[in-house]
Structure 1
Amino acid sequence: MLKVAVIGATGAVGQEFIVALNRHKWFQLTQVAASERSAGKKYVDALRDPSSGILRWHNREEVPEYVKNMVVSKVDDIKPENFDLIFTALESDDAMVIEPKFAKTTPVISTAAAFRYESDVPILIPGVNDDQTDLLKAQGKNRDWKGFVAPLPNCTTTGLAITLKPVLDKFGINKVIMTSMQALSGAGRSPGVIALDITDNVIPYIPKEEEKVQREAKKILGKFARNAITPADFRVSCTCTRVPVLDGHTETVFVETAEAAEPEDVKKEMLKFSKNVSIGKLPSAPKEYIVVHDDPTRPQPRIDRELNDGMTTAVGRLRKDTAFDNGIKYVLLSHNEKMGSAKGAVLLAELLKDKQIL
């Protein structure tokens, strides 16, 4: 068992880490840290609103017993050398300061954007760009770290990159146009703040989201050689919106392929990739990485987001697109708080352990 800590453990993403690490076969959570307001309290008490006493626990599962009485530490009191791995669920500004301190001695897996665009930092999705894990070793030389920082992609990028991977490998890609319909949980969980804005509404702008997706998809699907990633040479354009859905990001995707591709051929490649993906033996790996629905009314967030505990990307309405010479289009659904967040981070940790990087 590897000893791990979770930083930012009381927030929405931190809570997902707590659930994902419950009874894990390979990782033992031995310490949690959060803000000074929570420090010194038992974990379950730190979750309570100080004025109302209401438990601010956002997961559908109950607070796991193993963590209820664990005392929350200050971030500054964490001794990273005591751990094999540290998971962080921080805002990017905080991550920029805190994560390098930990990485001096210990590997860090992060949900923040702080280091995603650094040249020696891969944005990893297990089974999609596993070869880029070798770039983690370069951080030790470049930054004088014994550990590393391995960030997840933006949760909106995750399902897109997973579904584009088999298309790129078989047919090549010239252009990608995507519109997202993103769940409320992606905006955080502050009680009551967003409810009046989003009810009976669609918010057509999410700050910095489109730029993140456009950069990250090309980096994830780029070529790795000589300790450098050359971004994929296709173009990406996207529009990101917020919709009144609790969990699960839906995306409409238009792809101009380099070679002619029929929808049935694309479906075949997606399912072949799903069957042969390299992560099958990892504890958190889903039975299917991608499912492709023939029913034109799927995927739907309420029905499909929990497939294989939220770790499967669901695809539907796969069909020809007439705006491109070689065009296909489809709808995807990816769980932003599971595969796109903490549980995806745990899956990445499993991959790194399996490759003996941890």
Structure 2
Amino acid sequence: MLKVALIGSTGAVGQEFVVALDKHPWFNLTHIVSSERSAGKKYVDAIRDPQSGILKWHNREQIPEYVRDKTISKFDDINPKDFDLIFTALESDDAQIIEPKLAAHVPVISTAAAFRYENDVPILIPGINDDHTDLLKKQQEERQWKGFIAPMPNCTTTGLAITLKPLIDSFGVKSVFMTSMQALSGAGRSPGVIALDILDNVIPYIPKEEEKVQIETKKILGKYDNESKEISVNDVKVSCTCTRVPVSDGHTEVVFVETIENADPSSVKKKMMEFSDNVSIKRLPTAPREYIVVNDDPTRPQPRVDREINDGMTTVVGRLRKDSVFDNGIKYVLLTHNEKMGSAKGAVLLAELFKTKKII
């Protein structure tokens, strides 16, 4: 068992981490860390509203027993050298300061955007760009760290990159147009009047989201050069519009793809299923039984019906059909669970990949 800590344990993403690490066969979460306001409290008390006494627990699963009475530590009270790995669920401004202090001593897997766009930092999705892990050695050498920072992609990027990978490998891709319909949980959990903004509404702008998706997709799907120790970003053109909709969990995306070689819906489905069947991470503890599911029902995917398939780790594709604008065009709808595969549980899967590669 590897000894791990979690920084940022009481928020929505932190709660997903404590669920994902419950009874994990490889990782033992020994320390949970949060703000000074929560430090010294039992976990179950730290997530309780001090005025109403109501638990601010946002997960569908119950609070795991192993963490309920665990005492929350302050950041300054832990020694990074005591751990084999640290997960962080921080806002980007805090991550910018805290994560390098940790990475100087120990590997860090982060859900924040703070370091995603650095040249020596890969953005990793297990099974999609596993060879990019070699860039972590360069990061350690250049920064003189014993550890490293390995950030997860933006949750909206995750499903898009997963579904584009088999298309790029089989047909080549010139351009991608995507419109997202993103769940409320991706914006954090806001109680009360703020949440009224989304009722009977669609918000057609999410700050910085489109830029993140466009940059990250090209980097994730780029090639790693062993000689230069650099990622050359994919030259695919990516354009997107990101919107917020009144759905609790699960990001839906409508995707239009211009391929280099002709691709009909049946051949695309075949390649997606072959990729899913042969993905490199199938034997990892958190890996889904199906990495991609392609549904022939024209009413699917739907967040309420499909987001929990394989405990939220499967990307579901539907409405796969020929596009009439591009000469070589395919269009489809995808659904990915933004708080599981797109966040904490995807980070645990990445840690499992690191362990099998002997990176941790």
The alignment's TM-score, normalised by the length of structure 1, stands at 0.99
Determine if the alignment matches structure 1 residue 92 to structure 2 residue 75: no
Determine if the alignment matches structure 1 residue 282 to structure 2 residue 292: no
- Residue aligning to 2:337: 335
AA paired with 2:145?
W
Determine if the alignment matches structure 1 residue 119 to structure 2 residue 104: no
SS at match of 2:176: strand
AA paired with 1:5?
A
AA paired with 2:200?
D
Alpha-carbon offset, residue 53 of structure 1:
1.0
What number of residue pairs does the alignment pair up? 358
From 319, 330, 342, the equivalent of 1:317 is: 319
- Residue aligning to 1:353: 355
- Residue aligning to 1:106: 106
Deviations 1:42-99 (A, max 9, x none): 1111011111111111001111110111110112222110000000000000000000
Q: Map of 1:95-174 to 2, 5 A cutoff?
A: 95-174=95-174
Alpha-carbon offset, residue 190 of structure 1:
2.2
1:98 & 1:43 partners in 2: Cα distance? 21
Alpha-carbon offset, residue 193 of structure 1:
4.6
Deviations 1:225-253 (A, max 9, x none): 03100000010000000000000000000
Alpha-carbon offset, residue 306 of structure 1:
0.1
- Residue aligning to 1:33: 33
1:64 & 1:53 partners in 2: Cα distance? 19
Q: Map of 1:52-71 to 2, 5 A cutoff?
A: 52-71=52-71
Q: Map of 1:204-223 to 2, 5 A cutoff?
A: 204-223=204-223
1:343 & 1:278 partners in 2: Cα distance? 17
Q: Which structure 2 segments of 5+ residues have no match?
A: none
SS at match of 1:30: strand
Alpha-carbon offset, residue 323 of structure 1:
0.8
2:140 & 2:281 partners in 1: Cα distance? 26
SS at match of 2:207: coil
1:303 & 1:227 partners in 2: Cα distance? 43
- Residue aligning to 2:298: 296
1:197 & 1:171 partners in 2: Cα distance? 42
AA paired with 1:117?
Y
Determine if the alignment matches structure 1 residue 256 to structure 2 residue 258: yes
SS at match of 1:216: helix
Q: Which moved more, 1:43-52 or 1:282-291?
A: 43-52
SS at match of 2:177: strand
Deviations 1:136-169 (A, max 9, x none): 1111111010000000000000000000000000
- Residue aligning to 2:7: 7
Q: Which moved more, 1:201-210 or 1:61-70?
A: 61-70
RMSD of aligned residue pairs (Cα, Å): 0.6
1:206 & 1:280 partners in 2: Cα distance? 33
2:322 & 2:258 partners in 1: Cα distance? 10
Alpha-carbon offset, residue 334 of structure 1:
0.1
1:192 & 1:282 partners in 2: Cα distance? 40
Q: Which moved more, 1:72-81 or 1:310-319?
A: 72-81
- Residue aligning to 1:238: 240
Deviations 1:264-312 (A, max 9, x none): 0000000000000000110000000000000100000000000000000
SS at match of 1:333: strand
Q: Which structure 1 segments of 5+ residues have no match?
A: none
- Residue aligning to 2:272: 270
The alignment's TM-score, normalised by the length of structure 2, stands at 0.99
Deviating 4+ runs (over 6 angstroms): none
SS at match of 1:72: coil
Alpha-carbon offset, residue 260 of structure 1:
0.6
Alpha-carbon offset, residue 7 of structure 1:
0.4
AA paired with 1:75?
F
1:2 & 1:326 partners in 2: Cα distance? 48
AA paired with 2:118?
E
SS at match of 1:348: helix
AA paired with 2:148?
F
AA paired with 2:244?
R
1:325 & 1:153 partners in 2: Cα distance? 31
